[in-house]
Amino acid sequence: MNTGEILIYQNQEGNIKIDVRLEEETVWLTQAQLCDLFVKSKATVSEHIKNIFEEEELNENAVVRKFRTTASDGKNYQTNYYNLDVIISVGYRVKSLQGTQFRIWATQRLKEYIVKGFTLNDDRFKSGNTMNYFSELQQRIREIRISEKFFYQKIKDIYTTSIDYDAKDEKIVSFFKIVQNKFL
């Protein structure tokens, strides 16, 4: 994510469109944008945000930031923006069709992470806009592969202590090829 980048979020139906601020590796929305996103009143969103902080689910100082915003009157104002942590927390609290859609989407991602150990936004990686993250993903995969190599070496070390071990025996070479291929 580039610093200060603005993305436009639009739901599938096309009736909700929000300019999303990307900064410091997170998404930032104003309270008004949260209201638009989840189709809830300012009072409802305010109550949820207040409860999130009162219940100490999130630390207000860590998830709220003031950005200068130009209003429709042309003047600049310091406006509170809420980061992705707040957006997610509000999304799990609001009762609206959009809140339900958000929870379904978020729960699918969480389930995939718990079951598979990872989740990927395939379209983002295919678009090429996430090269820094792609490099990070490659590095993490390399580290996993190295640990597999160590595991394979442990198996080989154990097997070599066997009385009938012969490194030139075709059956043994074949066995190790099969074991190694299981790690690929």
> Is residue 3 within 8 Å of 24, Cβ to Cβ?
yes
Tell me the mean pLDDT per 10 residues along the chain, length 184: 50 68 84 92 97 98 93 91 95 92 88 87 69 76 76 75 78 79 64
Q: Is the pTM of this model over 0.75?
A: no
Q: Which amino acid is at 107?
A: T
pLDDT of residue 101: 86
Q: Kindly give the residue spans of alpha helices, DSSP state H, lying in 21-169.
A: 31-38, 42-54, 60-63, 84-91, 97-116, 122-127, 131-160
The 3-state DSSP class for residue 107 equals: helix
pLDDT of residue 2: 41
> Is residue 2 within 8 Å of 22, Cβ to Cβ?
yes
End-to-end CA distance of the chain: 32
Q: Give the pair of three-digit tokens for residue 130.
A: 């996430």
pLDDT of residue 15: 64
pLDDT of residue 3: 47
pLDDT of residue 1: 41
Closest CA to 16 of 85, 92, 89, 99: 99
pLDDT of residue 19: 74
